[in-house]
Amino acid sequence: MARRTPPKPRRPNRRFSKSVLLDSSAKRRFQRRLLRWYQEHGRDLPWRKTSDPYHILVSEVMLQQTQVDRVIPKYHEFLERYPSFEDLAEAPVADVKKTWYPLGYNIRPERLHGIACETVERYGGKLPNDAEELLSFKGIGRYTAGAIRSFAFNEDAPILDTNVIRVLHRVFVANGDPKTQKATLWELSEALIPRGKGYDFNQAIMDFGAMVCTARDPYCLLCPMKSFCRTYPFDPKTSGS
C-alpha cells in the first residue's frame, strides 16, 4: 500500500508514566507484531499521504462518530472547496455546514470553522504542535491533539479513541469497565509507543481495532496477540469491552 515518508521524528514532550505496570516482553512483542501486521494489512487512506496539519485536522474531525467509507469522498470535496485554514476561516459558517452535509453532527463543522479562525488570528494560519496550545482550541480534545501531534508533526504522542481503548483493554487489562479506566489506558497508550515510531504505531493500533480486534466477533483465531492477550479467547458474554 502507498506510504508517505514521515519527517524526522521529534522527541516526546514528556516521559512515560511510571505508574503503568507493563511486562517488557509483552510490550516488545505487541509493538513488533502490531507494526508487522500494519505493514501488511494497513488501510490505504488519503490522509495518510500528507503531513499537512490542516488536512490531518479535517480528517480527524470528520472521523469522529463517522465511518471511514463515508468520510473519504467528503474529505476530498471539503479540501477542494476549502484548501487551507485561511479559505475555511473566510467562508460563511452556513456554507461550511452545507459542504459538510450529509456527515451529520453539525457542531463539528462549526467547531472546525472556529479552529480555522483562531489559527489564522493567533498563529498566522499555522496550527501549533504544542499540546497545551492545541488543547486551548475549542473543539480539540486530548485525542485530536495527540492525533495532530502524531500524524502531522511525527511526535510520539499517545492517542485513545474507541478502537485503541478496546485493543489495549483486551490485551493488557481485561478486568473492569474500560470506560472507567481511561487514565490507565492513556498511560498504556503512551508507554507502548516505540521511540520515533509514533506515527506508524498509532495508525496501526487504530486499524487493528477496526479490522481485527473488533467490537463484535473479533478475529481472535487470526490475532497475532493471542499468545499473551488477557482476554483470549474473547467471550462477549463475560467481557465489558
Write down the catalytic residue from 60, 118, 187, 190: 60
Cβ-contact 178, 165 below 8 angstroms: yes
**DSSP string covering 213-233, please?**
S-SSS--GGG-TTTTT-TTPS
133 counts as catalytic = no
**What residue has cell string 452556513?**
94
Nearest to 62 by CA among 46, 77, 74, 50: 74
CA distances for 96 relative to 93, 104, 138, angstroms: 5, 12, 17
As given in the structure block, the three cell numbers for residue 100 are 459538510
As given in the structure block, the three cell numbers for residue 150 are 502524531
Residue 10 phi/psi, 5-degree rounding, is -95, 155
In the three-class reduction of DSSP (H, G, I as helix; E, B as strand; rest coil), residue 10 is classed as strand
Catalytic positions, please? 60
